[in-house]
């Protein structure tokens, strides 16, 4: 499996560059979950990072885009499939 050095922005991993496994399309996953164990032995806290395009410093374009992960303090959002024939959710 291929991996890519990917920077993390915000949250506890701010400024770190970690190797992230690439999927079959050559892109890292859209969300990256980091479980942090609880000192008291309770359930682990899960930090959620979302993939966003990285800011490029050069004017040179590449064939493969570079990505970075930004911290999502609100956690995961609902990413369920929304079919066109489904009834809209009422809130």
Average confidence score pLDDT of the chain: 84
Domain that holds residue 66: 3-72
Q: Is residue 55 part of a domain?
A: yes
Residue 60: predicted pLDDT: 67
What value does the mean pLDDT take over residues 74-81?
A: 71
Residue 83 within any structural domain of the chain: no
Total of domains in the chain = 1
Mean pLDDT, residues 6-31: 92
65 is a domain residue: yes
Higher-confidence residue of 91 and 16: namely 16
Q: Are 32 and 11 in contact (CB under 8 A)?
A: no
**Is 88 among the domain residues?**
no
CB burial string 71-85: b at 16+ within 10 A, e below: bbeeeeeeeeeeeee
Name the pLDDT band for 1 (thresholds 50, 70, 90): confident
**Whole-model pTM?**
0.72
Tell me, yes or no, whether 64 lies in a domain: yes
> Starting at the edge strand that comes first in sequence, how are the strands of the sheet with 3-9 ordered?
17-21, 3-9, 67-71, 45-53, 31-36
In a domain, 86, yes or no: no
């Amino acid at each position: 499996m291929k991996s890519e050095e990917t920077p993390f922005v915000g949250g506890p991993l701010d400024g770190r560059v970690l190797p992230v496994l690439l999927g079959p399309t050559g892109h890292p996953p859209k969300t990256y979950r980091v479980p942090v164990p609880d000192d008291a032995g309770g359930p682990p806290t899960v930090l959620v990072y979302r993939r966003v395009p990285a800011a490029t410093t050069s004017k040179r374009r590449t064939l493969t885009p570079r990505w970075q992960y930004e911290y999502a303090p609100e956690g995961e959002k609902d990413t369920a499939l929304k079919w066109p024939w489904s009834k809209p959710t009422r809130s």
